[in-house]
Amino acid sequence: MYKVYGDIQSGNCYKIKLLMSFLEIEHEWVAVDILSGETHTDEFKKINPNTRIPVLVLTDGSYLTESNAILNYLAEGTDFLPSDRYQRALVLQWQFFEQYSHEPYIATARFIRKYLGLPKDREAEYQAKQAGGHKALSVMETQLRQSPFLIGDVPTIADISLYAYTHVSHEGGFDLDNYPSIQKWLLAIEQQRNYLGMNA
């Protein structure tokens, strides 16, 4: 059985939980508390020297890190990862977009506001994250005006990757009123069979 080291309130970890729910993959979930430094112990560094979660442990004991790499591994051969070469590359395009152009703005703003309580010394950084976050949302809105899901008519792991922090973007101060296609897409994902919320 798979084992996952994660924190369900982290969007990066929630991605794995959500895909595993959609695919009905049995697993053991090992809760790791980032805020209390549990990813920085010597023991954890043996699992991931980059001191981050999630980490997937395969049945043979091998480790796999980076949320989007884990999604690709788990989704192989399922409807959540197309077999067509160009479509697979588009899935990766959106996932790299997520990690470079979306997460560092939207997830970080959410972290500063929700977990740190928007302290005075992080306020400038929080404000600076807003423009980048809205740029990422605009790029998504442009695509979702053209297709119901990011790659086409059915959800893929690209949608799961971007859903994770987009659906809680209000916790980072992002108002989705000006992104009607994103709102419709969020609902469409929530209506999928075996959908699981972040607080479930």
Residues that bind its own copies (CB under 8 A): 49-50, 52, 58, 62, 64-70, 72-73, 76, 85-86, 88-90, 92-93, 95-97, 99-101, 103-104, 135-136, 138-139, 142
CB of 191 to its own copies, least distance (A): 27
Q: In what order do the strands lie in the sheet with 2-6?
A: 27-31, 2-6, 55-57, 63-65
CB-wise, 104 or 148, nearer to its own copies? Answer: 104
Using CA atoms, how far apart are residues 56 and 113, in angstroms rounded to an integer?
A: 28
How many other C-beta atoms are found inside a 10 Å radius of the C-beta of residue 40?
10
Torsion of CA 102, 107, 109, 111, to 10 degrees: -170
One-letter amino acid of 141: E
CB of 142 to its own copies, least distance (A): 5
* Nearest distance in Å: CB 113, its own copies: 21
Distance of alpha carbon 105 from alpha carbon 116, whole angstroms = 15
In the complex with its own copies, which residue's Cβ is closer, 9 or 87? 87
| Between 103 and 155, CB nearer to its own copies | 103
Burial of 35 (0-12, 13-18, 19+ CB in 10 A): exposed
**Cβ distance to its own copies smaller for residue 139 or 196:** 139
Minimum Å distance from CB 199 to its own copies? 25
For residue 46 the two structure tokens come to: 């043996």
State the nearest-atom distance from the C-beta of 68 to its own copies, in Å. Answer: 5
